Amino acid sequence: MRKSITFILFGLFTLFVLTSCRPPELEGAYVDYNQKRFDEALELAKEATEKYPTNAEAPYLLGRIYGEKGMFKEMVESFEKSLSISTQYEKEIKETKIYYFQTEYKNAYDNYVSYQKISGDSSEKAIKVLDNAIKHAENASIIDPSDYSSVKLAGLAANYKNDNDVAEKMFTKLTKINPDTVDGWFWLGRLYFNKQDYQKAIECNKKANEIDKTYVPALELLAFSYENIKDTVNTIKSYKEAIEADPKNVSYLFNLGLVYNKLATSSKKASDEYKSNYANSEKYFSQAIDLDPDELDDYQRSLYDSNLEILYSLKCVAQIQQRKFEEASQTAQEGIDNFPDSAELYEYLAISLSNLGKTKEAEAANKRAIQLKGD
């Protein structure tokens, strides 16, 4: 019994010694903190930190209070100050940072997902959801500056909000956190493309392409960017690389065919260059027409369906300009079988048949074209 009493007394004495070693400002800060009087606790912890610069506990507690108040930049700075004095609270600091990081990241992600469900909505409520996603993702990034996912989340949310300054800051940060990750460079390049800064868009997506030569979105954006600055050589090169990486993409085939079509119309008529450009135009339009719609995803199938009539018309034009009238008549007829109300296809059929010497058939096709235009 005497031993038990002695042990209890020793414990109380130890606790008294430990607490009595705390400066009064720090002790007061703990009392206020435990009572959730965070404003009062903050002032006392600040005072203790300034007054006792070699005490690691004061900035540790100050960091905890900043965390409770959502002041994460100040929290991290205070924790770093504590660790610079001593590693005594290293475990507690690590656990606290993990807790707040996970909480802020979850809040950011939940808000981002909520916006995805109402994507396109520009109401005040939708903007607030995006603002919350950005704020919490930025907080998570402050707590762990090396975390890639929280920075990307903030950048994507800012991008949806059309907040180019924040998006640029976040996407630039991605390229610094991990310069060998392709999507950081792609998203930064896409941002510059949307701002019509095509040269910077090219620089970023060239870096993305260097990291992964098969990353199709970067190749596509390179092609679009080169096209906007009228760099035809690199436009063609980028589209060809994109087609090689994704041969069933309607957009790339269609767009490259259009590039050659434009080149042909600006070439000297009947020249080798003129013929070559129309031949290439025909080639890529043909490849687009020959795609199997059942093998395309919903988005590509939609593009295929919406472009198919145009593709038949453009292929006809390319064949007529090369004086390939037999092939042009077959293409026109195939197009008419799919689109029987196309005045344009009947017109191209009439031109082809006329040049083949099939006068009656040409007149009938032309009559139908005129009738459809009148309708």
- Domain tally for the chain? 1
The answer to whether position 20 is within a domain reads yes
Supply the range of the domain harboring residue 36: 11-88
Indicate if the pLDDT at residue 135 is higher than 80: yes
Query: Would residue 273 count as lying in a domain?
Result: no
The pLDDT, as a whole number, for residue 12 is: 35
pLDDT value of residue 224: 94
User: According to the model, what pLDDT value does residue 7 have?
Assistant: 40
Model-wide pTM > 0.75: yes
Q: What is the CATH number of the domain that holds 17?
A: 1.25.40.10
User: Is 301 part of a structural domain of the chain?
Assistant: no
Q: What percent of the chain has pLDDT over 70?
A: 94
Q: 15: pLDDT confidence band, cut at 50, 70 and 90?
A: very low
Q: Is residue 26 part of a domain?
A: yes
Among the listed residues 148, 123, 146, 151, the one whose alpha carbon sits nearest the alpha carbon of residue 136: 151
What's the pLDDT at 214?
Answer: 87
What does the pLDDT average to over 193-202?
96
Task: Say if residue 174's pLDDT is above 60.
Answer: yes
Helix axes 325-338, 298-321, angle to 10 degrees: 150
Average pLDDT for 108-129: 86
Across 3-13, average pLDDT: 39
* Lowest pLDDT segment from 70-84, 162-176, 258-272: 258-272
231 has a pLDDT exceeding 80: yes
Whether residue 103 lies inside any domain: the answer is no
In a domain, 115, yes or no: no
Is residue 87 packed enough to be buried (19+ CB in 10 Å), middle (13-18) or exposed (0-12)? exposed
Beta strand segments in the chain, E: none
In a domain, 110, yes or no: no
Q: Which residue, 246, 262, 255, 263, is CA-closest to 284?
A: 255
Residue 40 belongs to some domain of the structure: yes
pLDDT of 2 strictly over 60: no
pLDDT tens per residue, range 320-349? 999 999 999 999 999 999 999 999 999 999
Range in 225-239, 258-272, 302-316 the model is least confident about: 258-272
- Of the candidates 76, 57, 58, the residue with the CA atom closest to the CA atom of residue 66: 76
Residue 194 CB neighbours (<10 A): 13
pLDDT at 13: 32
